[in-house]
Amino acid sequence: MSDNGSWHSPSGDSAGPPPGAGDGRDGNGAQSGHAQGQHAPHGQHGAPYDQRQPPPYGQYAPPQYGQQQAPPYGQYPAPQFGQQPFGAPGGWAPPPTPGLIPLRPLSFGALLTAPFKELRHNPKATVGSALIIQGVVVLLTIVITGVVTAVMLGRIDQATAQDQDEIAAGAVLTILLSMIVPLLVSVVGSAFLQGVVVTDTARAILGEKPRLREIWRATWPRFWTLLAWTFLYLGSILVALAVVGGLGALVIVQGDAGIVIGILIIVFGSLAVAALGIWVFTKLAVAPSVIVMERASLKRALARSWSLTTGSFWKTFGVIFLIATILNIAAQIITTPVSLIFGIVPGLLDPTGSDVGAMLALLAVAEVILVLITVVLSAIMSVVQSGALALIYVDLRMRREGLDIELIRFVESRQVGDLSAPDPFAPRSQQ
């Protein structure tokens, strides 16, 4: 370019601008390759834009090469390949489910189905523990009761005719007392089993699958508190029933109208005790979970359970009642046909009863099979019911204390290799 704006060739001669340099045409009068098939953008009245100047108000400037045309107002530009549309949300992400349940407050249906998943998650630790405890109880019952019964029957046979009545009465009382030992063992075993299931449920929620030995080792420090809670609950029911029965008996011994009044006291008093026991049990249902997961004392566990279930009584009661109903119906469906079969088969095989030895052997085999089925069903029912109580506790804390947030943080910390995260089930004052 010269000072006056004319074009000069690089060689310095001023032969003028090249043909078509100003009008977009080549020397032959045709449009240049850059302008062929294109139209210059126009403004108002078809006037071409000067791209060095801003466009008139309300209009968009033409895009430069490689740029995208601005979209009309109120519309989003088309996304590039592999990109999300502008303004589109990132998508709802469900809460993580590292193990047994999703880490969010559970619906009523989830509370009903989740305890049954506990059977499949870690059956060796949960069902295995239940089978061991139930097997010990059955074995003690058979051994103690069988030995005591055999001894007492021998004494009755050896007694004289004058002493047989007194010895028989004493033998019956002794046999009944001998059954207290297996009953106490059953209570102790159920308390420990509940702690085992609670411990496994807590670990299963976090996606862990501990072994039976690890669960027993973690539960043992809380065993005595669990046992105290079990005896407190059962003892309270027995005391209440004894009070009602004793009061009714005192009225009955008065005779005449007192008999009717005493019977009414016993009947309606027992119903009242049953209703009161159901209400108290529902309010204190999550006390074992508090004892195990929060490592709380018995007094604090009772207070925590009462507080957590306040406002959620009917939901808690509904879950417990429906699960117990489902389990009992399933158990009856299994045991009733088996009992009928073993009751009918001996008569079909030996209608006349001539072979007494074979009949007794068959009855013994049937009894053993029924006992084994009962043990297995009792173990399964114990695991499901204890797991339901633990899940109710976790759900209540999610809704009232935001436990789901603590669980998510704990799971995320473990995923990145941070093993120093505090126990998410511990109360906030202990974290």
Q: Tens digit of pLDDT for each residue in 323-333? A: 999 999 999 99
Residue 335 lies inside a defined structural domain of this protein: yes
pLDDT at 154: 81
Residue 344 lies inside a defined structural domain of this protein: yes
pLDDT at 64: 56
pLDDT at 324: 93
What is the distance between the alpha carbons of residues 368 and 85, in angstroms, rounded to a whole number? 69
Q: What is the mean pLDDT of the chain?
A: 79
Asked if residue 393 has pLDDT above 50, the reply is: yes
Q: Are 69 and 77 in contact (CB under 8 A)?
A: no
Number of domains in the chain: 1
Residue 364 lies inside a defined structural domain of this protein: yes
Residue 43 lies inside a defined structural domain of this protein: no
pTM to 2 decimals? Answer: 0.72
CA angle, 65 then 67 then 73, to 5°: 135
pLDDT at 16: 47
Question: Positive or negative, the Cα torsion across 318, 319, 324, 327?
Answer: positive
Q: Are 98 and 204 in contact (CB under 8 A)?
A: no
User: What are the E-state strand segments in 168-291?
Assistant: none
Residue 282 lies inside a defined structural domain of this protein: no
pLDDT at 297: 93
Closest-CA residue to 267 (of 240, 246, 248): 248
Burial class (CB in 10 A: 0-12, 13-18, 19+), 206: middle
pLDDT at 354: 66
Q: Which domain holds residue 163?
A: 108-220+311-414
Write out pLDDT tens, residues 154-210. 887 777 777 777 787 888 888 888 888 888 888 899 999 999 999 999 999 998 888
Residue 147 lies inside a defined structural domain of this protein: yes
Long-range contacts, 297-302 (Cβ 8 Å, 24+): 297/225, 298/225, 298/228, 298/229, 298/232, 301/225, 301/229, 302/229
pLDDT at 278: 92
Decide which of 430 and 87 is more confident: 430
**What does the chain come to in residues?**
431
pLDDT band, very low/low/confident/very high, at 58 (cuts 50, 70, 90): low
pLDDT band, very low/low/confident/very high, at 28 (cuts 50, 70, 90): very low
pLDDT at 355: 64
pLDDT band, very low/low/confident/very high, at 67 (cuts 50, 70, 90): low
How many Cβ atoms from other residues are within 10 Å of residue 104's Cβ? 18
Q: Out of 62-66, 259-263, 359-363, give the one with best mean pLDDT.
A: 259-263
Residue 158 lies inside a defined structural domain of this protein: yes
How many Cβ atoms from other residues are within 10 Å of residue 240's Cβ? 18
Average pLDDT for 272-289: 93
C-alpha distances out from residue 264 to 241, 243, 256, Å: 14, 14, 14
Residue corresponding to tokens 């052997």: 361
Q: Is 324 left (phi over 0), alpha (psi -120 to 50) or beta?
A: alpha
pLDDT at 162: 75
What is the distance between the alpha carbons of residues 396 and 10, in angstroms, rounded to a whole number? 86
Decide which of 420 and 370 is more confident: 370
pLDDT at 350: 65
pLDDT at 323: 94
Residue 229 lies inside a defined structural domain of this protein: no
What is the distance between the alpha carbons of residues 284 and 116, in angstroms, rounded to a whole number? 22
What is the distance between the alpha carbons of residues 393 and 305, in angstroms, rounded to a whole number? 8
Weakest mean pLDDT among 36-40, 256-260, 263-267, 426-430: 36-40
